[in-house]
Amino acid sequence: MGLRFYVLFIFSILTVLGAMMAGSTGQFLALEFLLVVVFYEFGRAHLGKKTVSVMKYIAFFLAVVFILLALQKIETVLEGI
Amino acid sequence: MDRRLIFPVSLVFFGIVLWYYGGYSGLQVYANLGISSIIIGLLTLSMDNESSKLLKSTCEAFCEILDSFNENSFPLLIVIPPYENLPKGGLLFVSSTEDVSLGILRAKTGRISLRYSEGYLITPVPGWGLFEEATKEVVSEDPYSGLSNFLAAEGVSSLRLFDNGDGSYVLFVKPLCLPKFFDPVVSASLLSLAVSMDSLLEVFDVDYTGEFLTLHFKPLGGVEEWA
């Protein structure tokens, strides 16, 4: 089993912990985005090419969702004003 | 369906169900766990653990063929990093390093005449493909670290390098197939070290420690010194 397995294992543990501890889905998505970016940056030497490109897509997807959620939040705040 | 796909695909499916259930029942933890399950499933799906087995099965016969060249008639191995005459590096088997001259080498595998004796040149280095694959993406890392990380990440092999302090080094490497220097992993490791050190390497001793091959070598200086 390669080093890649252990990197993904640690990533999975942190993801599950984040999912259980986050206060809201928005918070979880932000945390997950950070996790993906950190693991992509520091773990890419140990991850295979395919895994790295999947991580890139996930980070992009999470960023889009996170921006949409933020816009929704801003809209709600503006409506309140 | 491939058995390797069962776990990641079920993880993604389970994640979708959990996410839906979490959203439907208003339980946010379930929705979060569903999303994380989908992400982990997708990443597991992208892992390819069979590459090392496949590599081993494809290179065994190749190693045997190369072994028939009988390296034993030339006890010393010199690893040559890529340069003008040998753009893909080379393994030069000689009886002594004294009459080696790189100026006469051409990119062709076979017996060659040195100044006072003969040698056997193998080019490209059998592990050239591995070396190229491992070093083409990560340009900032030195080639040895790049290859070491690549091999560990793919679960193919692992490398350990020790400095003896007297100008010589010891490399521990787990080969794919036994004929030692022709193994793609062993030759790629030696080539990456030659490129990292920017020097020719003389491998003067080889032995086995468990499933690891122990290579004792010393740098001989840059290509220009041997031209």
Q: CA separation (Å) from B70 to A2, A69, B32, B95, B180?
A: 33, 67, 61, 13, 12
Q: Say how far apart CA B94 and CA B211 lie, in whole Å.
A: 27
Query: Which tens digit of pLDDT belongs to each residue from B38-68?
Result: 999 988 888 765 566 667 777 777 777 766 6
Count of Cβ atoms closer than 10 Å to residue B105 Cβ: 22
Phi and psi torsions of B191, nearest 5°: -65, -40
A4-10 long-range CB contacts below 8 Å, 24 or more apart? A4/A46, A4/A47, A4/A48, A4/A51, A4/B47, A4/B153, A4/B154, A4/B155, A5/B47, A5/B49, A5/B155, A7/A39, A7/A43, A7/A46, A7/A47, A8/A47, A8/A51, A8/B40, A8/B43, A8/B44, A8/B47
Say yes or no for a CB contact (<8 Å) between A48 and B40.
no
- When comparing pLDDT for B3 and B210, which is higher? B210
The residues that bridge with B79 in the sheet, in sequence order, are: B91, B201
Span B156-181, average pLDDT: 83
Give kind and range of the element (H or E) at residue B162. strand B159-163
Residue A2 pLDDT:
62
Residues of B in contact with A64 (CB under 8 A): none
Domain assignments of chain B as residue spans, ordered by start:
3-45, 53-226
Q: Say how far apart CA B6 and CA A22 lie, in whole Å.
A: 29
Percent of chain A at pLDDT > 70 equals: 93
* pLDDT, averaged across chain B: 81
B45 and B9 in contact (C-beta within 8 Å)?
yes
pLDDT exceeds cutoff 90 at B14:
yes
Q: Say how far apart CA B154 and CA B50 lie, in whole Å.
A: 9
Which chain B residue's Cα is nearest to A10? Answer: B40
pTM, to two decimals: 0.66
A45/chain B closest Cα distance in angstroms: 6
Query: Hey, what are B5's tokens?
Result: 């796909």
Residue B70 pLDDT:
53
Residue B72 pLDDT:
57
Residues of A in contact with B28 (CB under 8 A): 24-25
Count of Cβ atoms closer than 10 Å to residue A32 Cβ: 24
A48 and A4 in contact (C-beta within 8 Å)?
yes
- Tell me which residue in B48, B137, B146 faces A50 most closely, judged by beta carbons: B48
Query: Which tens digit of pLDDT belongs to each residue from A27-65?
Result: 888 888 888 888 888 777 677 677 888 888 888 888 888
| Residue keyed to tokens 């010891």 | B170
Count of Cβ atoms closer than 10 Å to residue B68 Cβ: 9
- For chain B, what's the residue count? 227
The contacts of residue B113 (CB under 8 Å, 6+ apart) are: B104
Residues of A with CB under 8 A from a CB of B: 1-5, 8, 11-12, 15-16, 18-20, 22, 24-25, 28-29, 32, 36, 45-51, 53-55, 58
Peptide bond between residue B8 and the one before it cis (omega within 30 degrees of 0): no
Which chain A residue's Cα is nearest to B157? Answer: A2
Say yes or no for a CB contact (<8 Å) between A29 and B153.
no
Per 3-state DSSP, what percentage of chain A is helix, strand, and coil (rounded to 5)?
85, 0, 15
B213/chain A closest Cα distance in angstroms: 19
B214/chain A closest Cα distance in angstroms: 21
